[in-house]
Chains A and B, each alone.
Chain A
Amino acid sequence: MNEQGDAWSKVSRSMEKQLEKCTRQAIAASRLAADVPAADVGSSACEVVLKKDRMRLLHYLDGPEEKNPVPVLLVYALINRPYILDLQPDRSVVQSLLKQGLDVYMIDWGKPKHGDRFLGLDDYIERYMDDCICAIAKRSGQESISLLGYCIGGYLTSVYASLHPDRVRNLAVMASPLDFGIGEGLLHLWTREEYFDPKQVVEAFGNAPAEFLNGGFAMLDPLGNTLLKYLNFYENIEDRKSVEMFLRMEKWLSDGIPVAGAFYVDLIRDGYQKNLFVKNKLRVNGGRADVKRLTMPILAIVAEKDHIVPPSSTLGLLDVAPSKDKTTMSYPTGHIGLSVGGGSHRDLWPKVAGWFTNRSLPAKETR
């Protein structure tokens, strides 16, 4: 009888605690609904130094007066908006690099319209990136600059560096799909030639629609992206900072942009299906993207729990590049956590900034 009484009192105490927690969460939810915080993103001060078609080159103005002479150009992917690298002041790759005295630029690719469906890899490399890099070199008085590519931006920067190594001082790639022949990762399986033809997407839609791409990414973590994250959000609804961060992330996730048709075919066919770049067979505008020309310092930043781009896909570049200065930095986080995780900004980004700074001495003082 005593045991039964104890059990019932445990249950009733537990129910009381749960009820109290549910009430607090419900009150916090109703307060949130009445006063939804503004999800301000990309708030670092910047100026537009170059505009070409839909692309804009941004130059960030914060940071110390005296900056490192070798600028760093951030190149994000062509999927989703680049302000993920400047999501909020304490979770901003841009701010982390500026604080260490680096001169930071970023390419905003813009949103392709139907008429942009003919833009391919060669256009993005030779017409847009090359113009940006030449403009930055001219403004800074440097012959070569540092590049940091995130995700498919890392593929773009690596291909560019193999075509124009004289213009790249240091190359950093972050969670980038470079070696597509690793046999890991759901995207690598789903885009195989026997299962998927990218030309059909382009023939049907022109550009690859954002909804189509986001649907595929959501399926990489089905319950995580559709249910678990909302449960986590509700669990932390009393924490205002956590709520603001969640709203910013949701804003970015829902702010998808289409990918230009020709580039989509180039990426899937020449990248995911044929893996031409690391095999040294990729041709861009008639010239070969020669991985043997990647002799500049290379930094590979990988996320250990990345389910979108397996770390081995990024590290595959280090196996083929002949550079004598190769560094790997890994962090136990996911694909997006590298750029917005609190731990990444505390532990990883100061090291990345230090890597750039140490390799940005004037040419006569290097090596």
Chain B
Amino acid sequence: MVAKRRNSLGNTLPAEPPRQEPVRLFKEVVDAQMDIWKEWSRKAGADVSDAAKEVAPTVAQYWAKMFAALWESAGEARTREDPLVRQEELRRYMLVSYNEMMKKVLATKSFAARSGNGVKGMLDGVKAWNEVMEETLRALHLPTRGDIDELHEALYNLSKRVDYMVKSLENSGNRRAK
């Protein structure tokens, strides 16, 4: 049992001295940050692990083929009439195989999801920038892209209506002629 602390007047002091409070609060903030990082890395790790599970067999298969081709080439180099031509063929084979492997990786759902997220992030950034520019121009009382787009839309709708009216008149003229 912790003895109660008293000051010189005999009054009971608080159980924890006040100077411990900032330390405790700082510790709580650090713990919360660590929880956030752990959650993020767990999720990222899980995503990476899922993606790796999806592409690993394909990558392993293609690397095995390329290694086999290298091994075979090393074995037959001495018997070839023109060893450097074989090197060229091998380089070409490796590049084509690597290309095929990349295409297989690009055809996975993990890649599609990631690239979709990447594109979305980029587009969100562009939209945010556009909004900032709009607000800036508006504050300077200058026409914005939004203002021009309104005009474009009005012109588009007008020209569409005129086109359909002309078609309608031509069709009724043709029907009367027949």
Contact = CB atoms under 8 A, between A and B. Distances in A.
Are both chains from one complex?
A: yes
Interface of A: 7, 10-11, 13-15, 17-18, 53, 114-115, 117-119, 123, 127, 130, 186, 189-190, 192, 194-197, 200-201, 203-206, 219-224, 227-228, 231, 307
Given A18-B84, A227-B95, A228-B96, A186 B78 contact: no
28 contacts: A14-B84, A17-B82, A53-B159, A114-B149, A114-B152, A117-B149, A118-B152, A118-B156, A119-B156, A186-B103, A190-B116, A195-B113, A196-B116, A196-B119, A204-B126, A206-B149, A220-B103, A220-B106, A222-B99, A222-B102, A222-B103, A222-B106, A223-B95, A223-B98, A228-B95, A228-B96, A228-B99, A307-B103
Contacts of A118: 152-153, 156
Contact of B99 (A117, A189, A221): A221
Contacts of A307: 103
A1 to B, nearest CB: 15
A195 B82 contact: no
Interface of B: 78, 80-85, 92, 95-96, 98-99, 102-103, 106-107, 109, 112-113, 115-116, 119-120, 123-124, 126-127, 130, 148-149, 152-153, 155-156, 159-160, 163, 167
Nearest to A195: B116
A271 B107 CA distance: 20
A115 B83 contact: no
Contacts of B103: 186, 220-222, 307
Contact of B126 (A13, A205, A224): A205
A123 B160 contact: yes
A40 B84 CA distance: 38
Contacts of B95: 223, 227-228, 231
Given A118-B152, A221-B103, A189 B84 contact: no
A225 to B, nearest CB: 10
Contacts of A227: 95
Contacts of B112: 189-190, 192, 195
A186 B116 contact: no
A186 B160 contact: no
B83 A10 contact: yes
A186 to B, nearest CB: 6
Nearest to B82: A14
A222 B99 CA distance: 7
Contacts of A195: 112-113, 115-116
Contacts of A119: 156
B166 to A, nearest CB: 10
Contacts of A186: 103, 106-107
Given A7-B78, A10-B80, A204-B127, 7 more contacts: A18-B84, A115-B156, A186-B107, A190-B116, A195-B115, A201-B123, A203-B123
B53 to A, nearest CB: 18
B123 A204 contact: yes
Contacts of B119: 196, 200
Contact of B120 (A114, A200, A219): A200
Contacts of B113: 194-195
Contacts of B84: 11, 14-15, 17-18
Nearest to B127: A204
